Structure 1
Amino acid sequence: MKPKRPALPSPAASLTASATVAALLLSLTGCGGDASADGDGSTVTVTVGYQSRTINTVTAGTLLRSLGYFEKQLNALGDGVTYKVDWQDFATGAPITAQMTAGKIDIGSMGDFPLLINAARGKQLGKPTRMVSVTGYNLRGGLNTIITAPGSSLTSLKDLKGRKVSTSVGSAADGTLVRALQRAGLDPYEDVEKLNQQPAVGASALSSGSADALSQFVAWPGLLAQQGKAKALYDGAQLNLATFHGVAAREDFTKKRPAVLQAFLKAQTQATDYLDAHPVAAAESVAKATGLPAETVYLYNGAQGIATFDPAIKPQLVAALKEDVSILKDAKLTGDVDVDAFVDDQYVKKALGTDAYAERLAATPPDPAGEVWPKGAEKTLPFTSPTALLKHVAAHRGSVRAAYVPDTTTGTLWFADRSVWVADGTRLLPFVTPETARAYVAGHGGARVVTYADALERAS
């Protein structure tokens, strides 16, 4: 097991509004999925809800489906049952939660805040669910970013006072916005006008000028930055609080079909290992399935990507989940959530084996140093420093597909040509946002912000 590094259109970790969620839940009746037998009882259908464009869930969704590992694990059970997998793709986590509590989906993947709503709704409706594994995570919170339009004059969070900010209420991105504004001394409910919008709607609002900023989760910020439609205002990793995506299963399903859940978690682990061993191929596969740019997928899911993929449920993630409850309570989306009762690692621990599970829990993502993806290449080139990477890019300007560098203070990977660069003597240092770059300059005499073009020239 090789631990991965510390982190599109339509990432589905967001839940738009409590009213919408409630309406979805009330509109569904409990008949269905439940890994139930069809016809003569010799065929069992397992229904998996996933979000193809929420690319930090691909090891339990898009990539897993394309690799066929779950079906192979089910066929290997040898219990005389014929299994069918019904993969259902959704735009957000809300309908997955609704279908799970209606008994129509057995296993579903979503972000950390939607997982809490999943737990709350399941308990509320007497259809409890359990979080059984993790897909992708970032221990500092780098999966969420607040962005502005390319020509915006906003340069810090304090500049958002009195402004319109689009986000998806109930999502981790909204949690980042709330916490970030509070740390900046602003009231997230009084000092800004929050627009509760789906990511795609928020992106359009930012482009049209009807929103001054957009707080969203993977992979909208990276996508819009790559397309030149946005620039970063706040790096979620500045909060230094873990954020992640995970897998939930209905409690009655886990008890009735434990072998099926074991097969799913073993398959998820295989998909995780495949992504770690073949990050470029995995990014290309996800890009083909979703229509997203492979370069953006790789920013989050690559060898040094913002997300680390590991099915083990780390204590840091559980601790962050507990801290998230207060944000949802303040937004009146949930009451108290018993996180300890919701999180159940017995199945993934059994799937991995006790020793392997302990090893994964202890593993820490290595610090990224930067990568270049050459055009036409099946592998990326790693570098020991951003300066070394810039020197390579300067010497191969026409043959670079994408270049990625880590923020000097948070470690969040970002596109080299979209980063804010600082020259400090002979060192060239990248930052995701102007604010963190200015903070570094203020504390280092002689350091100054330079353009990307200037940084390339200095490196060469």
Structure 2
Amino acid sequence: MKVVLRNLLLFLGLLASDWAFAEKIRIAIGTQDTTINCAAGGLLIRELQLLEKHLPHDGKYQNAEYDIQWHNFTSGAPLTNEMVAGKLDIGSMADFPGAFNIEAFRKAGKKSLFINVLSGSPAGSGNGVVVPKDSAVQSLAELKGKTISVPFASTAHGMLLRAVAQQGWNPEEDVNIITQAPEIAGSALLTHKVDAHADFVPFAELFPYRGFARKIYDGAQSNTPTFHGTLADADFAEKYPELVVAFLRAALEANQLLAAEPEKYSELIAKHTGIEAEVAYLFHGPLGVQTRDFTWKPEYRQAVKTAFETLKLLKRTSTDLDVEQYIDDRHLRTAFKQNGLDYDAKLKDYSPSPIANAVSGQPITDFKQAVQIWINGEPTVRNYASAVSAFAALNALQKAGKTARAVYLQDKLSGIKLLANDAWFVLEQNRLSAFLSKEQADAQADQQGGRVLDFAGAQTAFANPSALATAVR
């Protein structure tokens, strides 16, 4: 009799479970489309319908009907508000707003979890500070007493506070930090209403690309890890772990597509965001500004801890949290396994997205010397092993009537990817090295000898060697 009763209860439990999943299941996802390094965790999944591909339709989900909802935000703070209100189940944002998210959930008596990294930099690149194009300012040190705008509660806000502290400044007395969204900052820079603007992906690169700003500071100079990743409502993840895994499998597939054809998907990102494909490629192409790395490397765990420390500095929390309780890689490990990927191997891998052979067919071995040229009308980017060969080729291409959409090269000091028309160069004999700032280029020239050039000067140097005497110094 007991066996029959137990079996009956088991049957009723299974039946109740089936009934639950026979109903429509909402999967509400918050994205940041214009934060283009999040593309593999949002825009591409949505536009390529990759989540639908990976959602389960067997077992307890055999009768499930999915209601997939996508909501786009320009920053992490409003996305967090919707998550805490129960209107979103999953959302992507950076480490600093992610810490706000975790704290907001905690204050509401709930919990959110960081479930993966999407893109990041152990050194801190991806955030930056720009000044108006015609500003005399060449370094962060020259901004004392000036007005700097930044989106408050963003990862760029955290970077700016750390950078100010590294200068030995009091953020409330030595600089005037005001809140400003990136869509407002562009016009403020153009009209000189602010002396500088700090922002997250992609605005420290986008504004210079559009020609009205110059980047004078990159987050890599702070040597503080940063990333964008995805958070999930812990209750949703506990109730539907298979759906969280499906989302992560879709993100991993999107990441592989980006790696295989970065130009193609940079164009798709541009179509849906208005962020030029040339800027998207700066992040998603080989040797990009950040690596698309989903694994929870120690540096990214530390970034969450640093974010909470910054929250305490801002007096937004007084609680000491065990950050490890809010980072959950279980679903990610399952997604890696189901997609045939090795999580532990990737966890140990710090290599950037690899670059293909040069147009000459020779392998590129010194990544810091690599240069890429994206020619108008060509679907893929051309690779060169050195700035010397690239600039010679660029001059030849221009003489043949072709124009470059963008020229990319790597910063000699940090290795981060730069737009050539916003970089500075040091010509030493027949070797050309690129630098983010004139300050860095001047220091290199003083120490090693050589001549400092801007982009136009570098082009001229290889078109007409006798013109070197008139190059910028």
2:21 pairs with 1:47: no
Cα separation, 1, equivalents of 2:327 and 2:208? 35
For 1:451, which of 451, 454, 466 is the aligned residue? 454
Greater Rg over alpha carbons, structure: 2
Q: Deviations over 1:422-449 (max 9, x none)?
A: 11221111111122222222321x2221
Shift of 1:40: 9.3
Equivalent residue, structure 2, for 1:349: 333
Secondary structure of the residue aligned to 2:55 is helix
For 1:165, which of 126, 134, 148 is the aligned residue? 148
Q: Deviations over 1:132-185 (max 9, x none)?
A: 001111221110111100111112222111110011222121222122222223
Letter in 2 for 1:363: D
Equivalent residue, structure 1, for 2:466: none
2:61 pairs with 1:58: no
Q: Which moved more, 1:208-217 or 1:382-391?
A: 382-391
**Using a 3 Å threshold, how does the CA distance of structure 1 residues 355 and 270 change in structure 2: closer, same or farther?**
closer
Secondary structure of the residue aligned to 1:104 is coil
Q: Deviations over 1:34-53 (max 9, x none)?
A: xxx99994321211111111
Root mean square deviation, CA, Å? 2.0
Equivalent residue, structure 1, for 2:103: 120
Secondary structure of the residue aligned to 1:317 is helix
Shift of 1:250: 0.5
Equivalent residue, structure 2, for 1:391: 392
**Using a 3 Å threshold, how does the CA distance of structure 1 residues 334 and 377 change in structure 2: closer, same or farther?**
farther
Q: Deviations over 1:168-210 (max 9, x none)?
A: 2221212221222222232222200001111122222222111
Higher relative contact order (CA 8 A, sep 6+): 1
Cα separation, 2, equivalents of 1:154 and 1:163? 11
Equivalent residue, structure 2, for 1:31: none
2:201 pairs with 1:218: yes
Q: Normalising by structure 1, what TM-score?
A: 0.88
**Using a 3 Å threshold, how does the CA distance of structure 1 residues 151 and 77 change in structure 2: closer, same or farther?**
farther
Cα separation, 1, equivalents of 2:58 and 2:203? 39
For 1:425, which of 420, 423, 429 is the aligned residue? 429
Secondary structure of the residue aligned to 1:166 is strand
**Using a 3 Å threshold, how does the CA distance of structure 1 residues 440 and 181 change in structure 2: closer, same or farther?**
farther
Letter in 1 for 2:420: A
Structure 2: unaligned runs, 5 residues or longer: 1-17, 353-366, 464-473
Equivalent residue, structure 2, for 1:26: none
Is the CA contact (8 Å cut-off) linking 1:116 and 1:337 kept in structure 2? no
For 1:281, which of 264, 272, 279 is the aligned residue? 264
Cα separation, 2, equivalents of 1:447 and 1:76? 65
Is the CA contact (8 Å cut-off) linking 2:84 and 2:108 kept in structure 1? yes
Q: Normalising by structure 2, what TM-score?
A: 0.86
Is the CA contact (8 Å cut-off) linking 1:373 and 1:402 kept in structure 2? yes
Is the CA contact (8 Å cut-off) linking 2:304 and 2:323 kept in structure 1? yes
Is the CA contact (8 Å cut-off) linking 2:76 and 2:154 kept in structure 1? no
**Using a 3 Å threshold, how does the CA distance of structure 1 residues 56 and 176 change in structure 2: closer, same or farther?**
same
Q: Which moved more, 1:388-397 or 1:85-94?
A: 388-397
Shift of 1:278: 1.0
Is the CA contact (8 Å cut-off) linking 2:22 and 2:65 kept in structure 1? no
Cα separation, 2, equivalents of 1:454 and 1:96? 45
**Using a 3 Å threshold, how does the CA distance of structure 1 residues 77 and 334 change in structure 2: closer, same or farther?**
farther
Equivalent residue, structure 2, for 1:249: 232
Q: What does 1:13-412 correspond to in 2, within 5 Å?
A: 41-74=22-55, 77=58, 79-80=61-62, 81-335=64-318, 336-353=320-337, 356-366=342-352, 367=367, 369-397=370-398, 398-412=402-416
Is the CA contact (8 Å cut-off) linking 1:50 and 1:89 kept in structure 2? yes
Structure 1: unaligned runs, 5 residues or longer: 1-36
**Using a 3 Å threshold, how does the CA distance of structure 1 residues 350 and 194 change in structure 2: closer, same or farther?**
same
Equivalent residue, structure 2, for 1:16: none
**Using a 3 Å threshold, how does the CA distance of structure 1 residues 358 and 190 change in structure 2: closer, same or farther?**
same
Letter in 1 for 2:26: T
